Structure 1
């Protein structure tokens, strides 16, 4: 059944009313490729740590489009020329920038389809939508791929101060209840300008940028790199790895049809009229949840236990350290688990492992330029002379070890 397209206004818990700028953009939002984002969790398994974090990529994409509308208004008020075609392309590009995410977002990136990023998949989806919408996304794709001659438009979509980050920090802060990420996105957008087709921030927005970067760093430690969340994502990745191993060894594993399709192939094509892209468009979080439920009853102890641990939130213990984890500590936990459950070392390695995480607030290689009152551009760290700005350059690395909570 078809319905007549209309200009819509949506009510968002972060920004209030969000308007959809054109009937064609409404039609793109209504397309099954985009509607799938309602079934892709924005923050993976973070809801196992923060119960409210059930918001989706659908919410985030609409929020980004709303912020892009605000950015276009601000830049035009400062006499930056943006044509109607460019405006339309910016809205489409930011709306679709995450459409290639698979189930549970970053948690399973490269796990289902190796060597293909979600950005590449987003581009494949955009190409297919471009064919379905008679070439009307051509300019949006050029901007998204960095092929358009006005670089600031890509910077609005992907940079250290883009609409993507401005939305997800504020949105994730709201749904997790972690106040540190509640940035003032409206003020940051109001301080934007363009010089020589490069996105810059006016000098009076300097400390707003510092607060934004500091808030992002804190959100990484408290939310995105939360130790319980890291452990849960490792378990989920271990489920996929174990299923593939069992299938390779001829062991039957019940799976949703679309997921089985990707497990049974090594090479994928996402070009025009691609069946692989169409298949991928039917994958979402529900396929993985169903897989966990099926796997929990499997006769293989490793797969069954991994699935139950996630479903019942019986997660691994994880300890952070400022120094690399000695292998002898990992071996100690491995041997203890092997002895308790009569497992091989390879089987025990699904539950005991070590790794590291890195948090960097500001990458100087992709500088944020500050426009001072004299019209001169100064790189952020040089413009902010206080030590707090220099601290943003410090990369912090932490090491961790995961293992089951066994009784002595």
Structure 2
């Protein structure tokens, strides 16, 4: 008999325990093992060399924080059954199971508008069949259908264990200290009121620190101009490859990637679609880009060389959109430099927007000593919450370095 109560050594949280046998079985499943080959942060390692961690790391870390959060709530008198604990841990463990190669960057390129959460749900349902219905409650929690709302809020909200893990983990591996939040302090302040997740009022500054840390991580790491560009290039490469294939051109690639390059219209995913998707990972895309660096199509070849050789286009950043004439000038110079007519394919204006705290959608509630709840931004003790409720947008123009 296999001992399934394993202990995993995690560089961010230390030792992670697996308190239920089904968790070990789910981790061993091929769908979950694939996450070892899916980058957590896409091409971020081109900018921050240490950011090579995977979705596998993150899922385990989020599960550990879920267990810690539930233990905290139990100590505060919240009744949580063993079945609920197991299901909440399974739901967060599998929340990213539907991510494709390079995660968000290629999300809509391979299977139209099949968002990773839609794919996660589909794969969780398939796994539930294989495990004889043991994931049924986890599925309810994941979809927000479970009658105790706080379980879904711990999985997906403005203050969930998913965000708590990826901020701390991405900060650790990228070396950007601004995201190094105190997860233990935040979790220790969690509470439940009327079956909804709340924060003890005295934890307000820890929450504000968490929100600002997330904002800094977005602008400094995730939306870093070169990071945003690298992600954009990946999307353009796959888009260009699909265009060439639709014109009848033959492109070398793994069988599973070829399948998605040729396939369009995924209104209803077939069994083969799902099977092939679960066999795709970052390696398929990297291998293809290496092949395509020598392709006769200039645009595809140029874009692939940019990524594989890390010879990325030049970028300039602005707080407002670039003038059309300025963009047109860059396109003209690109056409002249490379003797091509489709220089517009190599000049791009990218925008990135961030709302650090959305006071309208799932606001964070503080639980006061008198038992009443107030929203974070309405607390008389708040310092930053009202000022980080504004949308901010930055614009990035990229163009070939050669011009």
Q: Which TM-score tier does this pair reach, normalised by the shorter chain?
A: over 0.9
TM-score, normalised with respect to structure 2: 0.97
Match of 1:38 in 2: 36
The separation in 2 between residues aligned to 1:329 and 1:101, in whole angstroms, is: 37
Is 1:308 the equivalent of 2:278?
A: no
Note if contact 2:101-2:280 (Cα within 8 Å) is conserved in structure 1: yes
The separation in 2 between residues aligned to 1:391 and 1:214, in whole angstroms, is: 10
Equivalent residue for 1:379, pick from 375, 378, 385: 375
The separation in 1 between residues aligned to 2:170 and 2:380, in whole angstroms, is: 27
Match of 1:12 in 2: 10
Equivalent residue for 2:349, pick from 336, 350, 354: 354
The separation in 2 between residues aligned to 1:263 and 1:341, in whole angstroms, is: 27
Match of 1:299 in 2: 296
1:243-277 deviation per Cα after TM superposition (whole angstroms, max 9, x unaligned): 11111111111111001111222233766x82211
Match of 1:203 in 2: 201
1:5 Cα deviation from its structure 2 partner: 4.8
Note if contact 2:205-2:382 (Cα within 8 Å) is conserved in structure 1: no
Match of 1:320 in 2: 317
The separation in 1 between residues aligned to 2:132 and 2:278, in whole angstroms, is: 20
Consecutive unaligned residues in structure 2, runs of 5 or more: none
1:386 Cα deviation from its structure 2 partner: 4.5
Task: Point out the more displaced range, 389-398 or 287-296.
Answer: 389-398
The separation in 1 between residues aligned to 2:25 and 2:155, in whole angstroms, is: 21
Which residues of 2 match residues 5-404 of structure 1 at below 5 A?
5-268=3-266, 274-344=271-341, 347-365=342-360, 366-404=362-400
125 and 270 in structure 1: CA distance in 2 versus 1, 3 angstrom threshold: farther
The separation in 1 between residues aligned to 2:201 and 2:165, in whole angstroms, is: 22
Task: Point out the more displaced range, 261-270 or 140-149.
Answer: 261-270
Note if contact 1:5-1:26 (Cα within 8 Å) is conserved in structure 2: no
| Secondary structure, aligned partner of 1:125 | helix
The separation in 1 between residues aligned to 2:326 and 2:234, in whole angstroms, is: 23
| Secondary structure, aligned partner of 1:259 | helix
The separation in 1 between residues aligned to 2:61 and 2:384, in whole angstroms, is: 30
The separation in 2 between residues aligned to 1:5 and 1:385, in whole angstroms, is: 50
Note if contact 1:71-1:189 (Cα within 8 Å) is conserved in structure 2: yes
Consecutive unaligned residues in structure 1, runs of 5 or more: none
Note if contact 2:4-2:18 (Cα within 8 Å) is conserved in structure 1: no
| Secondary structure, aligned partner of 1:323 | coil
1:323-377 deviation per Cα after TM superposition (whole angstroms, max 9, x unaligned): 1111111111100000011111xx3222101131112110011200000111110
The separation in 2 between residues aligned to 1:29 and 1:172, in whole angstroms, is: 22
The separation in 2 between residues aligned to 1:371 and 1:41, in whole angstroms, is: 37
Note if contact 1:296-1:308 (Cα within 8 Å) is conserved in structure 2: yes
| Secondary structure, aligned partner of 1:80 | coil
1:389 Cα deviation from its structure 2 partner: 2.3
Note if contact 2:376-2:382 (Cα within 8 Å) is conserved in structure 1: no
Note if contact 1:5-1:27 (Cα within 8 Å) is conserved in structure 2: no
387 and 184 in structure 1: CA distance in 2 versus 1, 3 angstrom threshold: closer
1:253-305 deviation per Cα after TM superposition (whole angstroms, max 9, x unaligned): 1111001111222233766x822111100000000000001101211111111
| Secondary structure, aligned partner of 2:232 | helix
Note if contact 1:67-1:163 (Cα within 8 Å) is conserved in structure 2: yes
Note if contact 2:204-2:382 (Cα within 8 Å) is conserved in structure 1: no
The separation in 1 between residues aligned to 2:385 and 2:250, in whole angstroms, is: 55
The separation in 1 between residues aligned to 2:62 and 2:311, in whole angstroms, is: 35
| Secondary structure, aligned partner of 1:350 | helix
RMSD after superposition: 1.3
1:183-213 deviation per Cα after TM superposition (whole angstroms, max 9, x unaligned): 0001100000000000000011100000000
1:388 Cα deviation from its structure 2 partner: 2.2
